[in-house]
Amino acid sequence: MAAIDQLPPLRDVIATHELSARKSLGQNFLLDLNLTAKIARQAGDLTGCDVLEIGPGPGGLTRGLLSEGARKVLAIEKDMRCMPALAEIEEAYPGRLQVINGDALEVNPLTHLTPPIRVAANLPYNVGTELLVRWLTPKKWPPFWQSLTLMFQKEVAERIVATPGSKAYGRLAILAQWRADARIVLHLPPGAFTPPPKVSSAVVHLDALETPRFEADAGTLSRVVATAFNQRRKMLRSSLKSISPDIEDRLVAAGIKPTDRAEVISLEAFCALAREVAKT
């Protein structure tokens, strides 16, 4: 297959800069540049967009994003060892890559980005989920991002796109589908990564909706849903007791049977309940 750029193959980059993968940083690298370009294409039309990339590592996905035409990539990487490899990419794409050495959970990237902004990342599972929830629950909507294209462990990806009644349905599905269109766009076997992880992975693409599907306060919805699914096998009148002393009345006012369990409640009904709970 044709090379996507003039830079050395990622195996050589890793050898030159001695980037042995560290488990503590969740380092499972993608070394096939045709695959990283394919993931970058799932992020949509990148021309005219700034892209926020979290966890570039040796830069496989970064190179994919740049070769697919991103106006600028802002990459935040915790591992200092990756900086020289990323500097080589900066040189090959003058003025189009900015790298910040830091923890994505602490750095605020927004001052360095100009809308429209897309987000793309292949991150360790725990950091990815935490960031996804943050990106989905700002008080104001629409958010800073137009789309998110994120690699997850397959089971987590399935939770994001799950529908009521399924085992995977829960907080992630509700938060994602309330304010975005979410779909799985790519499945990857463990062998796609170096070193291969124990689990399969999937790329999820989310497009931000202009307005949330149903009215609700983000904080209240998030709290109600987290509490409801914390004890998902219990009836809502019991699992949601801590939310309000008169939760049974509020459930009825929202059109929900108090004896129902969280896993059968639709997104629309959870939003109605969040509105009832927010009433004084």
Angle in degrees, 0-180, between the axes of helices 267-278 and 171-179, rounded to the nearest 10:
90
**CB closer to ligand SAM, 60 vs 212:** 60
Measured from the CB of residue 256, what is the shortest distance to ligand SAM in angstroms? 38
Structure tokens at 110: 């927004």
Measured from the CB of residue 49, what is the shortest distance to ligand SAM in angstroms? 18
Measured from the CB of residue 63, what is the shortest distance to ligand SAM in angstroms? 10
Q: Rounded CA gap, 222 and 86, in Å? A: 37
**CB closer to ligand SAM, 138 vs 195:** 195
Q: Name residue 71's amino acid.
A: R
**CB closer to ligand SAM, 54 vs 225:** 54
**CB closer to ligand SAM, 125 vs 144:** 125
Q: Rounded CA gap, 187 and 172, in Å? A: 19
**CB closer to ligand SAM, 157 vs 216:** 157
Please name the residue ranges forming H helices in 45-93: 60-67, 83-92
Measured from the CB of residue 74, what is the shortest distance to ligand SAM in angstroms? 12
Measured from the CB of residue 227, what is the shortest distance to ligand SAM in angstroms? 27
**CB closer to ligand SAM, 150 vs 182:** 150
- Closest residue to ligand SAM: CB criterion: 55
Going from the C-alpha of 230 to that of each of 170, 171, 240, the distances in angstroms are 9, 9, 10
Measured from the CB of residue 68, what is the shortest distance to ligand SAM in angstroms? 15
Angle in degrees, 0-180, between the axes of helices 33-42 and 60-67, rounded to the nearest 10:
60
Going from the C-alpha of 124 to that of each of 25, 73, 92, 115, 133, the distances in angstroms are 7, 20, 27, 26, 15
**Contacts with ligand SAM, residue ranges (CB under 6 A):** 25-30, 54-57, 60-61, 76-79, 103-105, 122-124, 127
E strands, the chain, in order: 29-30, 50-54, 72-77, 97-101, 117-122, 147-153, 180-188, 193-194, 201-208
